[in-house]
């Protein structure tokens, strides 16, 4: 394959693609739709997120080295040694790439699969999982080099790169091309191969989230707290815009029944004050069901949930699976997007 073909394959299902012109970047929807791309000069990046909500995990081993202290040959050698160590511990787990500067490991996190979402939620979301796993892998390298491990698994200074250099793209720092590799090759061969435009293509392997839950038990890491909303949402006419699609569908049911009311009550109480949550809860019920909830056999249900909020927290995506459709935004937790929106709003308020 030539580099145009491999870039197309590598970026085919990306949420977005970026082209770097000198020090400026341009976001585009489709590759090679114009003739403004020069693959001998322009670096091509893709998002770590896929259109189906799966996410690419990246571990760049050069992050553990002082790049000013080592030259490109030393960085290639040291990162290749690190990759071989991780591959020995976790064989056939990663797809390996030499990005023209260092060796990088990739795999695909299947966020679109419902079976993975519960485990991702146990880690506190996809980005939290990425931070924790990166720290775990770097710790293995530190231990191998007789250095003390770092157990601060959730350090916000550990930024997650939203874009990665496409395989097939040139790396303007070194003038070498990013390529899939065999980590049994020598670092000299990696650098020599990075100069030519002949490419082979490999697919990323899907990781098994249950494997990582056994390997790095999230219940033993204090940073993997369940997603919670610290500041209750205010009751406004358009407050439902914050709710995930499954909750909106549940609310529209003419008759909800005992279990669905139980799920709805738990969600509303996790994002609103009890008073506001009860008002919304009652407003979604039909006349007969509302009478049943107020005066019938289920009249104690609401107060029971309110008095046991620690036990009956926000329902999981697995519990809401009957209300999830294939084209819905893939969430690891019903509060995931609400939390992101509130965090952004808080940042704006602090800046102003």
Query: What DSSP element (H or E) covers 103?
Result: strand 103-109
Task: State residue 180's pLDDT score.
Answer: 95
Tens of pLDDT, residue by residue, the chain (352 residues): 788 889 889 988 888 888 887 777 777 766 766 657 888 888 899 999 888 888 999 999 988 777 778 888 999 999 999 999 999 999 999 999 999 999 999 999 998 888 887 788 778 778 888 888 999 999 999 999 888 887 766 554 567 788 899 999 999 989 999 999 999 999 999 999 989 888 888 989 999 999 999 998 877 665 455 567 777 888 887 888 889 999 999 999 988 888 889 899 999 999 999 999 999 999 999 988 898 888 876 777 888 888 877 777 888 887 888 899 888 887 778 888 887 777 776 666 666 5
Task: With beta carbons less than 8 A apart as the criterion, state whether 107 and 93 touch.
Answer: yes
What's the predicted TM-score (pTM) here? 0.65
Question: Would you give the distance in Å from CA 95 to the centre of its chain?
Answer: 18
Task: State residue 156's pLDDT score.
Answer: 47
DSSP state of 288: H
Task: With beta carbons less than 8 A apart as the criterion, state whether 264 and 252 touch.
Answer: no
User: What are 351's two structure tokens?
Assistant: 């800046």
C-alpha closest to that of 315 among 260, 235, 238, 253 = 260
User: What are 207's two structure tokens?
Assistant: 């990781």
Q: Which residues does residue 58 pair with via DSSP β-bridges, in sequence order?
A: 106
Task: With beta carbons less than 8 A apart as the criterion, state whether 10 and 46 touch.
Answer: yes
Number of C-beta neighbours around residue 26 at 10 A: 12
User: What are 275's two structure tokens?
Assistant: 């008073």
C-alpha closest to that of 73 among 98, 102, 52, 96 = 102
CA distances from 320 to 16, 57, 121, 250 (A): 29, 27, 14, 9
Residue 202: phi and psi, rounded to 5, are -130, 145
CA distances from 263 to 113, 141, 153, 260 (A): 21, 44, 32, 5
Q: Any residues with CB less than 8 A from the CB of 125 and at least 6 apart, and which?
A: 227, 332, 333, 336
Q: Which residues does residue 46 pair with via DSSP β-bridges, in sequence order?
A: 17, 164
State the Rg of the chain over Cα.
24
Tokens 């070194």, residue located: 174
How far apart are alpha carbons 97 and 252 in whole angstroms? 48
> With left for phi above 0 and alpha for psi between -120 and 50, is residue 303 left, alpha or beta?
alpha
C-alpha closest to that of 259 among 312, 295, 334 = 312
Task: State residue 154's pLDDT score.
Answer: 54
């Amino acid at each position: 394959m030539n580099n145009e073909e491999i870039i197309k394959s590598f970026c085919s299902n990306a949420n977005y693609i970026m082209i770097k012109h000198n020090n400026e970047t341009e976001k585009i929807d489709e590759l090679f739709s114009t003739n403004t791309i020069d693959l001998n000069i322009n670096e091509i990046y893709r998002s770590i997120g896929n259109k189906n909500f799966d996410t690419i995990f990246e571990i760049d081993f050069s992050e553990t080295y002082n790049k000013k202290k080592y030259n490109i040959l030393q960085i290639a050698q040291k990162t290749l040694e690190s990759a071989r160590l991780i591959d020995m511990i976790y064989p056939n787990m990663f797809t390996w790439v030499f990005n023209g500067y260092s060796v990088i490991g990739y795999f695909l996190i299947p966020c679109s699969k419902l079976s993975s979402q519960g485990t991702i939620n146990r880690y506190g979301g996809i980005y939290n999982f990425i931070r924790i796993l990166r720290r775990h892998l770097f710790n293995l390298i530190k231990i191998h080099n007789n250095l003390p491990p770092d157990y601060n698994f959730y350090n916000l200074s550990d930024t997650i790169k939203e874009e990665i250099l496409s395989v097939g793209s040139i790396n303007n720092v070194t003038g070498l091309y990013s390529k899939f590799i065999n980590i049994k090759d020598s670092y000299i061969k990696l650098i020599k191969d990075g100069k030519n435009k002949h490419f082979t293509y490999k697919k990323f392997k899907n990781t098994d989230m249950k494997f990582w839950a056994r390997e790095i038990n999230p219940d033993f890491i204090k940073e993997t707290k369940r997603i919670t909303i610290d500041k209750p949402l205010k009751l406004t006419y358009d407050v439902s815009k914050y709710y995930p699609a499954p909750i909106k569908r549940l609310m529209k049911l003419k008759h909800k029944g005992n279990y669905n009311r139980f799920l709805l009550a738990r969600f509303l109480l996790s994002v609103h004050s009890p008073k506001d949550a009860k008002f919304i809860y009652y407003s979604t019920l039909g006349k007969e069901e509302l009478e049943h909830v107020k005066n019938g056999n289920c009249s104690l249900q609401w107060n029971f949930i309110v008095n046991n909020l620690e036990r009956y927290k926000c329902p999981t995506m697995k519990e809401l699976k009957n209300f999830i459709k294939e084209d819905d935004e893939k969430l690891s937790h019903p509060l995931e997007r609400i939390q992101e929106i509130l965090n952004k709003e808080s940042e704006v308020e602090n800046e102003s």
